[in-house]
Structure 1
Amino acid sequence: MRPAVKQARLDRYICIDFEASALGAKSFPTEVGLADPVTGEVWATLIKPHPVWLTEGEWNAVGESVTGITRPMLAESGADPSQIYANVRRRVADRAVVSDSPSYDGRWFAALAAAAMQGTGMEGEKPPPLLGLIMVAWELAAARGRRPDIAWNKAELEVGLRFPKPHRAGPDARHNAEILRHLAGAS
């Protein structure tokens, strides 16, 4: 059984992951995923490109080959950025948002927010800041009296075998949530 204090600590977090059209400054988000480290619930959706992204954004064929996400997939199955952003904010609520790549994911989260808020009078709204996965993982390991570096390496190996990262937002967010669970002693 999990110690209640560890459960409470995990309740503070939700993991996010984005896939994108490329890695450059003009790239845009193509998929977002969230994973709850307490319940294991995973939610992900493709993002229909905002018109500005289509005219000014960058698309990289290498990125497409890594994720398998194509422009036709986004046009056919992607949801509207404003609907997605509202859904993400509702799911995040007041929890700290954790990413394994806060600089990239933060940029794509901001692009999603900007597209969602365009023309609403709320253009200045910013998404919540992202915490780095390693920072949170080390904090959880240290709270349990474990050496963070060793605990991190062990968690990466063990979780990676059960929950690989296929460069899709849902499974990648799940992988990160499972690392937090492992380090908090919840898995």
Structure 2
Amino acid sequence: MSMQPDVVFLDFEASSLGKESYPIEVGWIFASGGEESHLIKPAPSWTDWSAESEATHHLTREQLMAKGTPHDVVARHMLDVLSGHALFATAPSWDGHWLSRLLRAAGLPRHALRLQDTDVAHTDAVSLILRKAGVPEDTLGARAKAILTEARLTDEEEGAPDHRALADAKRELRLWRDVQGRAEAYANSLGQRP
């Protein structure tokens, strides 16, 4: 039985935003259902820490050492669960850095999993719905941009992200569903014109 690829929103929290930063928490949610979150016990060579970042995510290094899952166990589990799916993150350069760091520390290929920008997931979803509704290509881009802008403004009104991995991944899934709902509403309105 082959598994259908799914859309997955993923987020990391990290020790800092510095060059030596490393992942301390990962969370993901599948569009079809299913979610996970893991505190990551740092690898022995991971010593970077920022009090400013700690004040943002409210996780301490002591918590990670006491309650975190070893980094290599998390990395292998991610590979088992997420391989073959479309993985999206809001900051793929940062999240990709932390994913790469996690995989390499576990002795796995650093590109074993690849992240795309959530903007790609949102744009693709809206464009697909508008194309199916027969929106002409010459106006599709502008209409898609308007729908995405409206959805993002609504999302921003919810306030700042939680800065916890699973909560932030769930927020991206909600936004993805919102842009699809807005695109479908627009598509339906086209059919109601006289």
**TM-score in same-fold range (> 0.5):** yes
CA distance in 2, matches of 1:113, 1:139: 28
Counterpart residue type for residue 105 of structure 1: D
Give the corresponding residue for 1:33: 27
State the TM-score, normalized to the length of structure 1. Answer: 0.81
Equivalence map 1:91-106=2 (5 Å):
91-106=81-96
- Tell whether 2:28 aligns with 1:43: no
Equivalent residue in structure 1 for 2:127, among 119, 124, 142: 142
Gaps of 5+ in 2: 131-139, 185-194
Cα separation, 1, equivalents of 2:54 and 2:162: 13
* 1:16 is aligned to 2:6: no
**How many residues are matched?**
169
In terms of Rg, which structure is larger? 2
1:48-59 map, 5 Å: 48-54=41-47, 58-59=48-49
Once the two structures are superposed, residues 117-136 of structure 1 have per-residue CA deviations (whole angstroms, 9 ceiling, x without a partner) of 2xxxxx54533221111122
Greater shift, 19-28 or 155-164, is seen at: 155-164
CA distance in 1, matches of 2:19, 2:165: 20
* Shift in Å, 1:151: 1.9
Residue pair 2:103, 2:109 contacting (<8 A) in 1 also: no
Q: 1:39-89 deviations in whole A, cap 9, x for unaligned?
A: 2x32111100100112xxx21110000000111110111101111112212
Counterpart amino acid of residue 43 in structure 2: H
Change in 2 beyond 3 A, CA 1:125/1:23: closer
Could you state the TM-score of these two structures normalised by the residue count of structure 2?
A: 0.78
Which amino acid in structure 2 is aligned with residue 77 of structure 1?
K
Q: Does 1:113 find its partner at 2:103?
A: yes
Percent identity of the aligned residues?
27
- In the alignment, which residue of structure 2 is the partner of 1:177? 173
Distance in structure 1 (CA, Å) of the matches to 2:23 and 2:44: 13
Query: Larger relative CO (CA 8 A, sep 6+): 1 or 2?
Result: 1
